[in-house]
Structure 1
Amino acid sequence: MSDVAKALARPPNYPTKFFGFELGAQTTLDDKNDRYIVNGSHQVDRLREVLDSFIAKFVLCGSCKNPETELQMSKNDDIIKDCKACGKRSGVDKVHKLTTYIQKNPPPKKKKGQGAHAEAANKATDEVEQMENDAQTQDDLTARINAEAKAVPIADKKADNEWSVDTSEAAVQARVNQLSEGVTTILGQDGANSDEDGNDAPESQLALWIEEKHAEDQTINPVDILNKSRDLNIEQKHKTVQVVIQSALTQNAFKELDGIIPVLEQMCKDGSEKHQKSILGGLERLVGLNYPELLPQLPKLLMKIYQADLLEEEVIQHWGTHVSKKYVDKDVSKKVRVSAKPFLKWLDEAESEDESD
């Protein structure tokens, strides 16, 4: 846990407490001996999901999704992620229990001339490099941690011995290029990240616009989403449907669907198979990556969308029996389809009854 925290530039008690809250487990914080423990026996996949959730909520910039952020406390005790890449300041999940814990245990303030920081920086650098070298022999969780660690800026020893980020024009452009290449986090394996003029694809622009609204804790009006897609001239494109499903919906997806369904109806007027597959792909990313806690609710989500006549039986049944890595990796894809089994079973039985009648 200590190595993970250093790689993410966060105090080790923060991810430890986050794991404890998410897993309902007791934790042990021993700063003196550098021991941070989460009690219990837990599956690797679940631990990976929790770590991803911590990174998304308390590490990644709310604007550019870059991990080069620093936690700061505002004068009114709000927690701010100060991004060293794009310069934006975004908030964290205010309702999470960890937010209250951080407010009571704020991140340590940096002091100029503090030699321990330089020593910690060099130690963290060595550890990250060692983690990368050992990735092939470590388990899935550690390998995933290594992948996240590669994106974390390596500290540099400056005159004031503070953690620093290369802000030169070349370095900033390199990070921008890296971010552009990572657009599959928004659109999946086949998402184009730029148009013919080299600009961000309009679907990506829509996703980032929605994410900014979430980061600023703004209530998103479904009508605004529809108007934004029209402004970008992508209202009828099937990938737009995927973006809306996976980006606009949150952990309250079942209630939020009531407002989003009319938007989807406008975007799926032709009822094409591509649009239906994009709906299902967006759901895969929503419950498989963004909010794994929604997996048990997947049958209800599918039922609500199906009853709105946005999905056909044949498309759903084919999706339910064919694992694909188009939107998520195969392990997550399998997990999503297992969670959808109650609805798929109901759909199969309903069709059998219709044929019998």
Structure 2
Amino acid sequence: MALNVNREVSDDFYRYKMPRLIAKVEGKGNGIKTVIVNMPEVAKALGRPPIYPTKFFGAELGAQIQFDQKNERFIVNGAHDCDKLQTILDAFIRKYVLCSKCENPETDLIVRTRGKQGGELLAKCKACGCLAPVPDNGRTAQFILKNPPDETGLALAAGASSGKGGRGAAGTRRRRGGANGGTTADRSPEGGNSGEESNHHPDDGDADDLNGAGVGGDDFDSDGEWEGGDDENDREQQRAAADELPASIQRLIVTDEMLELTPQDRADRFHKFLTERLSSGQLSPGELVLEAERLDIRDKAVLVVVEVLLDSPATLVSDIAKTYRPVFLAFVGGDKNRRAQKYLMGAVETLIARFRDSLLDAKRIPNLLNAFYSADLLSEETLIEWAAKGPSKRYSGDRKLSRSIHELSQPFINWLQTADEESSSEDDEEDEENNKEAGHLKEKINGNGSTKSSRQVRPSNGGRVEEEQPDSDVDIDNI
């Protein structure tokens, strides 16, 4: 949906339009971030390099930013909704896009240098000819002064100078997200941090310094990683260094690239890992669980396990009960992991859908469910809860097929419920029987058959009667 660039104008025929921002939240915990999916398109409609509004988002939200113009990824750390970002974008437009006189978004940004005194940021309107200073001197304005736009206004000028005499005869430094769209890093001694915030200099006085962006000195970026971590050469060096580590350590490494993976990408990686282990005959349940945890799909991994390991309808029961039971147990953990068992039930529906010609039968489906149940992979509670929930096309892809699966599995579910009720009745009868036996024993003890006194009387020594104390000492010589 297209919006008016100046959203204060409600005219539907307003000719300056821009796309609505699309934001997607990725990751979780400390790694959560918001990817602005269509930032290049929005920036093009505004006539500005996409890094400018991204930088403005970071300044307004007090958040670190990341950008890779080559791959058109613009990221703001933290979780932020589209409406909030759209409102902040309106503020950016008022300050850096609209003409201060005619309010048309027809301006070009001009950086006028003043030698050692720094520079001045001006906006020249192509509609009315107004040339006026930009009414802002914040972090974004300082960034634009050091990273002016090129002639098109849609990218940063090549060799943009920060005003500090860096490397090279012209006193320029390599910058992230330059006019060539790459992700080169500032490596000059004066360059300061060259991480996600793109050449943030320690003397800039930005809020980044207050947020601890420069922790670690000049060789670290804003997240405490070695500078240039997003540069392709540095990525290759990191991969090469990781490859030299033992395999047991490599499995524990969670890279930045992995944090950016979608759930489907994670499942695909686990599928590849499991397939390779199966082909090589090195199917270790513990190793598979570690890889699933590293990819953050611990419970959902069972969907992939079923897809890869159960590939033959003829041997399903033996594969479940014997061949691959240790692998399944490592993920579903008997009755302990109900969440993984629910995903396993979904995997069973997917399995039946895949081999529907062989498995969609009144005998095969109950036998299949019984195989999982007998192997302690699915509990009674999980199976009964699945049956009560009813058909769904989430896993089978077809609600009608899911309904058929539920109908054919109903005899087995009924047997489970009946067995559970009979077991409860037997337990009640056993408890009642035990209570009766305990009552009879108590009556016997307190009745005629009991000994009323601990003192025993017996004849001895010529008919004389002696009283024997049960606790009296025994003379061994008289035995």
| TM-score (norm. length: structure 2) | 0.30
Q: Which has the higher strand share?
A: 2
Q: Which has the higher contact order (CA 8 A, sep 6+)?
A: 1
Highest CA radius of gyration, 1 or 2?
2
